[in-house]
Structures are given as C-alpha cells and as structure tokens.
Chain A
Amino acid sequence: KAGVTQTPRYLIKTRGQQVTLSCSPISGHRSVSWYQQTPGQGLQFLFEYFSETQRNKGNFPGRFSGRQFSNSRSEMNVSTLELGDSALYLCASSAREDTQYFGPGTRLTVL
C-alpha cells in the first residue's frame, strides 16, 4: 500500500497570505490528523477528521481550519499567515483507533 502523501512538500508564503495543504491517507484509512512541528513547541495537535467530520481539535486559533472529503483526503487551511506559522505540518492517517502513520510533511516558511 502507498503511504500517506502530502502536497506540496515545501511552501514559501508572505505574512497575510493564506495557504492550503493537502493530505492523502493510506487507502482504507478514514481518520486523518494534522500536527504542527516546530523546534520550540515540538509536535502539537491541530485537528482530527473522521468520515468528513471534525472529531477533535487542538488549541490553535480559528485561522487554522481543515476539512475532509468523501474519499478521506484532507486539506488544511491557514489564513492570514503569521511569521510564527512557519513550521513542518504533518498529516497522519489511521485505520484502527490507536496507530497513526505519518506523511513526509509540508515545510511552510512564512516571510
């Protein structure tokens, strides 16, 4: 089976812009979770989607949003980008409740 894929792998944006990141889960996986990884804060949970419904949300401002499509693919959107949003954004999918498999990540740089 193909693993979790994320596009694009790298992005450079300027402050105030918005960005959309995409994640395709492993075939058959219905749960998709998003994480932000920074050197200072480590891995922080953004949100989780299951069957097109947001099931769980972390402590991030409303500028961070997401959605999941009927084929389980997920997108994450960040509006009004700030310098502090520069990070590696990781997507993970799972079939069983506990084990998550991660994609390669999208490296977002905000200038």
Chain B
Amino acid sequence: AQTVTQSQPEMSVQEAETVTLSCTYDTSESNYYLFWYKQPPSRQMILVIRQEAYKQQNATENRFSVNFQKAAKSFSLKISDSQLGDTAMYFCALWFAQGGSEKLVFGKGTKLTVNP
C-alpha cells in the first residue's frame, strides 16, 4: 500500500526563522511525484512545491525548498524566513499511477504556526 506519514502534528516557529516539516512515504511504484500543499485557515488548498521522483535535484520555490531522500523515502519541506502568512496546515502528498488509474495520497498534515 502507498502511504504518507507526517510525524509532526503541530509545529511553531518565530517569524523570520527557518522551519523544516517532515514527511516519509512508502510506495512500490518507480514513477511517482511528491507534493507539499498548504491550507491556510481560509481552507483553500494551495500547491507549494512539486518534486519528480526521477529527479535527484531538490525542488525550490522562493523561500520553500525540499530535501528529497529517495532511498530513505523522505521528503521534508524547509521554509526559510518564515512569515505570518505561512501559518497553515501543510500536507505532504504522493501521486502515482497504478493499474491504469492515478491516485494522490495525503498525509495527515502538520499545523504550522508562525509567531510574531
């Protein structure tokens, strides 16, 4: 079974500091993608960053970067220079194709609070 585990239910960080959110996954597929989504209190789910499993280079999007460790099946998100607007639920997700269909599996999420 394909699973995604986020071991940190809640985290907090001071404004302007750096924080890392953890995610581990399990899949038997060789072709897959990994995502981090952000869901602020307004509830709109927003794509933060995308990583192709076949690429060794870690994806970056401005202040957001990932540490993708394929052998360890680890996919952590680093947020640099944290801002108050980064306060949200963060979901790690695994996309894979199997048996002619495609699936996106989510972790339980990490609630991040950025304190002023």
Which residues on the B side are within 8 Å of A33 (C-beta)? Answer: 104
Interface of B is mostly: strand
Q: In terms of DSSP, what is the predominant structure of the interface of chain A?
A: strand
Residue interface bits B71-108, CB-to-A below 8 A is 1, else 0: 00000000000000000000100010100111111111
Report the bound CA distance from A101 to B37 in whole Å: 10
A107 to B102, CA, bound (A): 26
Q: How far is the CA of A92 from the CA of B103 in the complex (A)?
A: 12
Q: Which residues of B does A touch, CB under 8 Å?
A: 33, 35, 37, 42-47, 50, 91, 95, 97, 100-109
A interface size (C-beta, 8 A): 20
State which of A55, A101, A107 has its C-beta within 8 Å of the C-beta of B101: A55
Tell me, yes or no, whether A25 is within 8 Å of chain B by CB: no
C-beta contact mask, A74-111 vs B, less than 8 Å → 1, else 0?
00000000000000101010000111111111010000
Known: A33-B104, A43-B106, A56-B103. A98 touches B95 (CB 8 A): yes
Contact residues, A21-80 vs B (CB, 8 A)? 33, 42-43, 45, 48, 55-56
Selected A-B contacts with CB under 8 Å, 25 pairs: A33-B104, A42-B107, A42-B109, A43-B91, A43-B106, A45-B103, A48-B101, A48-B102, A88-B43, A92-B45, A92-B104, A97-B95, A98-B102, A99-B33, A99-B35, A99-B47, A101-B47, A102-B44, A102-B45, A102-B46, A102-B47, A103-B44, A104-B43, A105-B44, A107-B43
Taking the closest CB of chain A, its distance from the CB of B91, in whole angstroms, is: 7
A residues sitting closer than 8 Å to B (CB atoms) are 33, 42-43, 45, 48, 55-56, 88, 90, 92, 97-105, 107
Asked if residues A97 and B97 are in contact (CB atoms below 8 Å), the reply is yes
Query: In the complex, are the beta carbons of A100 and B104 less than 8 A apart?
Result: yes
* Complexed CA–CA distance, A21 and B109 (Å): 25
Q: In the docked arrangement, what's the CA distance between A27 and B71, Å?
A: 38
Docked complex Cα distance between A105 and B89 (Å): 15
Given A45-B103, A45-B104: A104 in contact with B50 (beta carbons within 8 A): no
